[in-house]
Structure 1
Amino acid sequence: MERIPVTKEGYEALKKELENLKRVERPENIKAIEEARAHGDLSENAEFAAAKDRQGFIEGRISELQYKLANADIIVPDNLSKDKAVFGSKVLLENIDTGEDVEYQLVGPDESDIEKGRISVSSPLGQAIVGKKPGDELTFQVPGGKRVYELVEIL
């Protein structure tokens, strides 16, 4: 069975999304399907087609979330080693070119939010950080060119 690493916050966000889909989105969409059906001929009923498409999306997302939650491996950052950067690690980086310090937490794709300092381990920067130790230099490619950082500290 595949284990899916996720932070506690990420796990809670997935649970919240699942509950919203089950308790709000699904019932609202069922009502929309019933209302569209009441308009008669379903073969040329755009509202019905849109509601059925939405139903497919909702059911697919519910299945995806249930799978992720059932296979979640909750990572607690406080329990992680500070020797090298791994999923869940919080790191302090210094941009070698500008001297600017930035702080990030390595998370999964579902949790990433650059504005909150949460970057995916599958992003170019995330891939460059994973496995590095304090003092290591990391280089990665972005659309604007190459970036070089030093991993100052694992927080």
Structure 2
Amino acid sequence: MKYGSLVLEKNEFLMIKDYLETNVTIEDYAHKNTLEILHQNMSTAMLFETEDIPFDIIKIYSFIKLAGTSGIRQTFQLVAPNEVNIQENKISIVSSLGASVIGRAEGDKITYGLPGDVISLIIEKVKQSKEVDNAATTTPTINKRKPKKLKTY
């Protein structure tokens, strides 16, 4: 990792922690494992105020461009769990891919996939959303963006 550990904005840290605690949708073993790793990484994360966070850190609502050695390319926006829209390339922060990139920086490498079929990806580009301001991670906004009813499988 470019900065040695995850780098998170303080309010986003609390929001992610809340999402992890209320996430009852375990898609599969790999997803559960990814969320456990995210939880563990968060215990050593560096926390910053919004105005002090480095520009190349992946935050909620960032646009991310990934590339792999096998020619894989993927661009998406990281969003809150209830704002997922696959057709618009909006990926949840508590998905396997979202949990793998949150708090990482441009140039960082991640591994992604199911056991036995893991690929290595590099974060090529991070672009911050212009439409989301600092109010996006305030407590009232976080509460508003929480899903009203969680799915269970």
State whether TM-score is above 0.5.
no
Q: Which has the higher contact order (CA 8 A, sep 6+)?
A: 2
TM-score (norm 1): 0.44
TM-score (norm 2): 0.44
